[in-house]
Amino acid sequence: MNEIDVLQEVFGPDEVPSAAAHDRARAALLHRINDPGPARRRPRWAIRITAMVATAAAAAVGIVALENIGAVDERGTSRPVVAALPFAKPAKAAELLENAAWAAARKPWAMPRDDQFMYVETISTLNRRKILEAAPNGPLVPGKTETVRQETWMRVDGDVMASRERGGRLEVTRRTATMSWGTIPYADLAGLTTPEKFQGWLDAPKTFGADPDALLMQQVLPPDVEAAIYRWLARQPGVQVDLHSVNLDGRPAIALTWTEEGYLKKDLLFDPRTYALIGDRLVAVDDHVRESLDGTTRIKAGDVFRLVVRSRAGIVDRPGDTV
């Protein structure tokens, strides 16, 4: 296949490059800048590349098939497509996150109404109930844990939430004058479509906020917002990648890891085939003494605080509905 064929495949009949082509060009350019290879290094001033040439370079980067990302036709019907990931074998955190961003941005999506619900199902390893109630923020106790399936529904306007644990009864709670909780306005989240906008939101004073990993695991975000958070994470110092990890349920995973508070290692786990977010965990990597209102806690390296699989998520019409 020559360069003209490559360009025709990428662009199709349109004269203007597609958003997908632009993303792949950006990813390829980042790859060339960060890892030019052993042959010869171009001087920085020489890296001036047009969108068309960059796109051809992106097509030449290792390509894999990604079949389970849906597309929506003119009738609104979802259908699977085969698409080319920016990096066939991501070896760096920035490459993993570019794949995750690229895949997230191609999910079928319609902006939810205020009266619809964000549905998230997780499978967690938790301490048994008595231990959990006595020390809700303590590490998991080996041999005294259980696996718990949890479902949550949060209305988009934040005024109704519901939950179900272990397949039991659905509990619905409505915001009242005497019952309330902190929420992030969904319109605020929907506007965070670039890493810069996300950083601005993090820096701005607000009544209620959340860490990036909590937003990704607990909210159902618009695809371009999810992609923006991944690209924001790629810019953070100390973020690393572990290509040979496993999820709580035994599935192979790629782990994005970083250290918090000097003694905790946080992992976000991605499916190595689809680059979808499938779980997270929090593990102590050093001994630490933690003082809190609950008293003094002595933490040992290797203590596990969180093991969660995110199994399903989506927008639904009412509590009890699933995807």
Q: What's the CA gap between 67 and 70, in Å, rounded?
A: 8
> Which residues are CB-contacts of 98 (< 8 A; sequence separation ≥ 6)?
27, 30, 86, 87, 90, 230, 231, 234
Q: What is the pTM of this model?
A: 0.74
In this prediction, residues 300-312 reach a mean pLDDT of 96
Task: Render the burial of 245-279: b for 16+ CB within 10 Å, e for the rest.
Answer: bebbeeeebbbbbbeeeebbbbbbbbbbebbbbbb
67-116 pLDDT, tens digit per residue, is 344 444 444 444 444 468 899 999 999 999 999 999 999 999 999 999 99
- Measuring CA to CA, how many Å separate 315 from each of 54, 153, 169? 36, 9, 21
Of 50-59, 126-135, 222-231, 305-314, minimum mean pLDDT range: 50-59
Q: What's the CA gap between 174 and 185, in Å, rounded?
A: 16
Q: Which H helix or E strand runs over 102? A: helix 93-104
Please, what sign has the CA dihedral across residues 285, 286, 289, 291? negative
**Nearest alpha carbon to residue 99 among 82, 87, 114:** 87
Residue 113 phi, psi dihedral angles, 5° rounding: -80, 160
- Amino acid identity of residue 277, one-letter, is L
Q: Per-residue pLDDT for 218 more than 90?
A: yes
Reported as a pLDDT band with limits 50, 70 and 90, residue 292 is confident
The gap from C-alpha 162 to its chain's centroid, in whole angstroms, comes to 23
236-251 pLDDT, tens digit per residue, is 999 999 998 988 778 8
Contact predicate 270/103, CB 8 Å: no
> In a 3-state reduction of DSSP, which class is residue 85?
coil
Tokens (6 digits) for 281? 């965990």
Q: What counts of helices (H) and strands (E) characterise the chain?
A: 9, 15
Q: What's the CA gap between 172 and 265, in Å, rounded?
A: 34
Looking at the chain, the whole-number percentage of residues with pLDDT higher than 90 is: 66
Of 25-39, 47-61, 126-140, 163-177, minimum mean pLDDT range: 47-61
Q: Which residues pair with 277 in a beta bridge?
A: 270
Q: Can you give the pLDDT at residue 67?
A: 38
Mean pLDDT estimate for the chain? 81
Q: What's the CA gap between 9 and 101, in Å, rounded?
A: 22
In this prediction, residues 185-198 reach a mean pLDDT of 97
Reported as a pLDDT band with limits 50, 70 and 90, residue 19 is low
Reported as a pLDDT band with limits 50, 70 and 90, residue 290 is confident
Contact predicate 116/315, CB 8 Å: yes
Q: Can you give the pLDDT at residue 293?
A: 76
Q: What's the CA gap between 216 and 276, in Å, rounded?
A: 11
Looking at the chain, the whole-number percentage of residues with pLDDT higher than 70 is: 74
- Measuring CA to CA, how many Å separate 22 from each of 192, 249, 299? 20, 36, 47
Q: Per-residue pLDDT for 11 more than 50?
A: no
> Which residues are CB-contacts of 46 (< 8 A; sequence separation ≥ 6)?
none
In this prediction, residues 221-243 reach a mean pLDDT of 97
Helix ranges (DSSP H) in the chain: 3-11, 19-34, 51-60, 93-104, 129-134, 186-190, 195-203, 212-218, 223-234
Q: Which residues pair with 304 in a beta bridge?
A: 283
